């Protein structure tokens, strides 16, 4: 990505911020609730009107977030005060707060932060950040008005004009936008995709594609990908395009046939995009059309054949939602194509506002524009089957990047407790339980190699393989070494296997190691779960090595491959005694694990709470390395999926100020341990005794 000539000259205005006082601005002003509910006469569903004033109240475009980071407020634009300005409405209580009150607000350019109460917008030629946390502290109309803090973070370069929409990247370090250049006095017009470094306040050119740019969209989970379109105002020969943030790899995202009319694309998580293919004539109605999706590696699926207009979806949700020219809001089951009309009658006249459907953060409600009452208003309707809380609301405890380490730690405590109950290990944890160890075998070589029987629970015994140093002065680090499907506690010592004998390698280095069988597919005791019993046996390994005089209890780690990588994730997440975790051959999403994988990972209620990235996030700020091989295939533990999951995980490490504690090792192998990387990582994080016990 090369710097353009559009360098911003830093000056007092660019680097300053101010609060607009109540005497010269209505920003921060409050309006009473307009919220009301009615029952759709056709579908029988309750529909919420959030705004009902005579003004034109219009939601943010469906490619961008509409809800604030806490999920409580919806940002929209309205001319209710005489000129188009930005407002926020409290979803539950309906109170409305004005966010801007000045000329030149480009209300079509709003990028909401997914992390904190802030947005980026365009006012005149200035890129402005509004921090509105204090403004939205309360939805009560009698609360004191507090205008947002206004900071200029950039300017549109001279000679350039915005083309399409702006978009905030996943890490919120850069603003992406399409520009047009020239075209005056008969000159040729050109277009580009640009990136504004929000810290350096410098525009750089990503690429100049040679056609009009529109709908620039940063990947919501990865900084390295940008989707944009060839904007024609109609049917482009090739609409959807994908490029890396450094300008390389520009290519069609969905490769169109000559007769397709593709439109209204948006990201569907970090690894695929949704779009609609409009059936413009009888010939196209006989071909695949309607709501479709495409993955980064080009896998295309048409989910529902119907003349949809716009579409929305969220990663981890079991449905998508489309709208139509007639103002119908329709839920679609992507796997079956089954359609359910949620509500109708929202565009009685052809010139009515576009619905521009958007799912809420929990995936249980859809927001849309309605002109059912003549002017544009904001409406909500439940997406779930019965209008109540959805029984398919996945990932309710997704980590959404609270702004402080304390808030992140509170989220961890809540999720850890709920997962312990789900796994049915909560009754076992937090109690001193005797181990009653009995040595079954002890061989002496370069290190002591033992088999030890201990009590896992009062009614069940397990056998551990333990190695102890002979020539290294204790105390030393200890590592729980975990095998995968088809393996045993001995597999992690096999140097000729996919495990590369990592347990033996650590034992050779004078460390304590422990391994136990976790590959069972039966539940041994009543009122337990399979994953819970596997996890508890590993926690008992930690209990045992903690009793050994050779072990430094402040330097305990864990590592595993495949199922072992999964169990390393669980152990690191649920046992704060683990200071460093290496999870190899597992980082992925639960969507991916639903196909072509053993389903032993799945237990009732798990997907409703979290995805894997959220479980890994419980490890922060302690050290975490995930290993994924570049030779893993698209149906396995594929690196592109791992990158998206890692982007989720990095958010909590960033909030906790521990970015250097987490890494993704993309090694050149397949489904196997990257031994040099594992050893280097564990050595870096366990070789020195910390000043205090990990949190």
20-29, 233-242, 294-303, 446-455: which has the minimum mean pLDDT? 20-29
- Number of helices (H), then strands (E), in the chain: 10, 42
* 350, pLDDT greater than 90: no
pLDDT at 280 (0 to 100): 80
The three state secondary structure string of 468-526 is EECCCCCCEEEEEEECCCCCCCCHHHCCCCCCCCHHHHHHHCCCEEEEECCCCCCCCCC
Contact 332, 324 (CB under 8 A): no
How many other β-carbons are positioned within 10 Å of the β-carbon of residue 390? 21
Place of tokens 């190699």: 449
pLDDT at 24 (0 to 100): 66
Instruction: Write the pLDDT tens digit of every residue in 208-219.
Output: 999 999 999 999
224-233, 397-406, 486-495, 544-553: which has the minimum mean pLDDT? 397-406
pLDDT: which is higher, 173 or 284? 173
pLDDT at 32 (0 to 100): 95
Q: How far apart are CA 468 and CA 690, in angstroms?
A: 22
pLDDT at 594 (0 to 100): 78
Mean pLDDT value of segment 217-230: 96
Mean pLDDT value of segment 406-426: 94
Tell me the three state secondary structure of residue 575.
Answer: coil
pLDDT: which is higher, 595 or 76? 76
Instruction: Write the pLDDT tens digit of every residue in 437-446.
Output: 999 999 999 9
Q: How far apart are CA 513 and CA 92, in angstroms?
A: 53
How many other β-carbons are positioned within 10 Å of the β-carbon of residue 663? 17
The backbone region for 596, taken as left when phi is positive above 0, alpha when psi lies in -120 to 50, beta otherwise, is: left
Q: Which two tokens stand for residue 264?
A: 């209204």
Instruction: Write the pLDDT tens digit of every residue in 505-514.
Output: 999 999 999 9
Of 542, 512, 543, 491, the residue nearest 447 (C-alpha): 512
Does CATH place domain 435-686 in 3.40.50.1820?
A: yes
How many other β-carbons are positioned within 10 Å of the β-carbon of residue 4? 19
Mean pLDDT value of segment 356-360: 94
Contact 367, 379 (CB under 8 A): yes
Q: Which two tokens stand for residue 528?
A: 């337990």
pLDDT band at 385 (very low <50, low <70, confident <90, very high): low
* 501, pLDDT greater than 90: yes
pLDDT at 352 (0 to 100): 80
Q: Which two tokens stand for residue 494?
A: 């096999």
State the DSSP H helix or E strand holding residue 569, giving kind and residue range, or none if neither.
helix 563-574
Domain ranges of the chain: 435-686
pTM over 0.85: no
Q: Give the N- to C-terminal CA distance of the chain in Å, as an integer.
A: 41
Of 175, 187, 181, 191, the residue nearest 157 (C-alpha): 181
How many other β-carbons are positioned within 10 Å of the β-carbon of residue 520? 12
Backbone angles phi, psi at 149, to 5 degrees: -80, 130
pLDDT band at 402 (very low <50, low <70, confident <90, very high): low
Place of tokens 């402080």: 404
pLDDT at 689 (0 to 100): 64
Beta-carbon contacts of residue 480 (< 8 Å; ≥ 6 apart): 513, 514, 515, 538, 541, 542, 545, 556, 557, 558, 559, 568, 571, 578
Mean pLDDT value of segment 332-338: 84
Q: How far apart are CA 633 and CA 612, in angstroms?
A: 19
Place of tokens 């997406």: 383
146-160, 174-188, 189-203, 601-615: which has the minimum mean pLDDT? 174-188
pLDDT at 690 (0 to 100): 58
Per the prediction, the chain carries an average pLDDT of 90
């Amino acid at each position: 990505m090369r710097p353009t000539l559009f360098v911003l000259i830093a000056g007092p205005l660019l680097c300053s911020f101010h609060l607009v006082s109540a005497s010269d601005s209505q920003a921060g002003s409050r309006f009473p609730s307009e919220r009301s509910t009615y029952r759709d006469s056709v579908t029988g569903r309750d529909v919420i009107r959030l705004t009902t004033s005579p003004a034109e109240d219009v939601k943010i475009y469906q490619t961008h977030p509409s809800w604030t980071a806490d999920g409580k407020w919806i940002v929209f634009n309205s001319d209710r005060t005489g000129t188009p300005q930005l407002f926020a409405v409290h979803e539950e209580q309906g109170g409305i707060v004005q966010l801007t009150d000045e000329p030149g607000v480009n209300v079509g350019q709003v990028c909401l932060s997914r992390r904190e109460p802030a947005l980026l917008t365009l006012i005149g030629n200035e890129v402005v950040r509004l921090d509105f946390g204090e403004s939205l502290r309360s939805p009560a109309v009698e609360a004191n008005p507090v205008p947002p803090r206004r900071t200029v973070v950039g300017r549109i370069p001279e000679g350039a004009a915005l083309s399409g929409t702006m978009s905030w990247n996943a890490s919120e370090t850069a603003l992406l936008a399409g520009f047009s250049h020239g075209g005056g006095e008969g000159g040729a017009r050109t277009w580009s995709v640009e990136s504004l470094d929000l810290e350096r306040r410098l525009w750089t050119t990503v690429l100049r594609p040679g056609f009009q740019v529109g709908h620039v969209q940063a990947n919501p989970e990865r900084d390295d990908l940008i989707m944009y379109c060839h904007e024609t105002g109609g049917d482009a020969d090739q609409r959807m395009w994908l490029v890396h943030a450094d300008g390389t790899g520009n290519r069609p995202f969905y490769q169109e046939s000559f007769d397709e009319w593709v439109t209204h694309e948006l990201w569907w998580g970090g690894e695929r995009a949704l779009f609609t293919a409009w059936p413009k004539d009888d010939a196209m109605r006989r071909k695949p059309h309607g709501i479709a999706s495409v993955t980064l590696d080009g896998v295309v699926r048409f989910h529902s054949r119907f003349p949809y207009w716009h579409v929305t979806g969220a990663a981890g949700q079991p449905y998508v939602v489309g709208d139509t020219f007639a103002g119908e809001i329709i839920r679609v089951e992507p796997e079956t194509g089954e359609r359910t009309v949620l509500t109708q009658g929202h565009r009685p006249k052809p010139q009515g506002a576009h619905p521009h459907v958007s799912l809420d953060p929990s995936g249980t409600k859809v927001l849309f524009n309605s002109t059912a009452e003549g002017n544009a208003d904001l409406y909500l309707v439940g997406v779930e089957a019965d209008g109540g809380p959805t029984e398919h609301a996945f990932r309710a405890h997704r980590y959404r990047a609270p702004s402080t380490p304390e808030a992140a730690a509170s989220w961890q405590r809540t999720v850890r407790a709920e997962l312990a109950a789900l796994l049915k290990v909560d009754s076992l944890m937090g109690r001193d339980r005797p181990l009653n160890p009995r040595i079954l075998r002890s061989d002496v070589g370069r290190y002591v190699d033992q088999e030890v029987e201990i009590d896992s629970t009062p009614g069940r015994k397990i056998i551990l393989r333990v190695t102890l140093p002979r020539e290294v002065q204790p105390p030393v680090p200890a590592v729980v070494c975990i095998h995968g499907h088809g393996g045993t506690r001995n597999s992690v010592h096999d140097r000729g296997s996919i495990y590369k004998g990592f347990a033996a390698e650590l034992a050779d280095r004078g460390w304590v190691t422990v391994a136990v069988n976790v590959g069972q597919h039966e539940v041994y005791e009543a009122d337990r779960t399979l994953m819970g019993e596997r996890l508890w046996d590993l926690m008992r390994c930690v209990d045992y090595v903690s009793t050994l005089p050779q072990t430094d209890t402040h330097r305990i780690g864990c590592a595993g491959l495949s199922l072992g990588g999964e169990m390393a994730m669980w152990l690191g997440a649920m046992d704060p005694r683990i200071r460093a975790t290496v999870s190899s051959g597992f980082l992925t999403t639960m969507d991916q694990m639903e196909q072509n994988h053993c389903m032993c990972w799945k237990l009732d209620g798990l997907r409703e709470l979290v995805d894997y990235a959220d479980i890994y996030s419980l490890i922060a700020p302690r050290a975490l390395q995930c290993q994924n091989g570049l030779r893993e295939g698209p149906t396995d533990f594929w690196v592109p999926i791992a990158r998206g999951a890692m982007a989720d995980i990095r958010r909590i490490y960033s909030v906790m100020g521990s970015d250097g504690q987490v890494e993704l090792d993309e090694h050149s192998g397949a489904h196997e341990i990257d031994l040099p990387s594992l050893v280097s990582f564990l050595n870096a994080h366990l070789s020195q005794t910390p000043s205090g016990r990990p949190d």
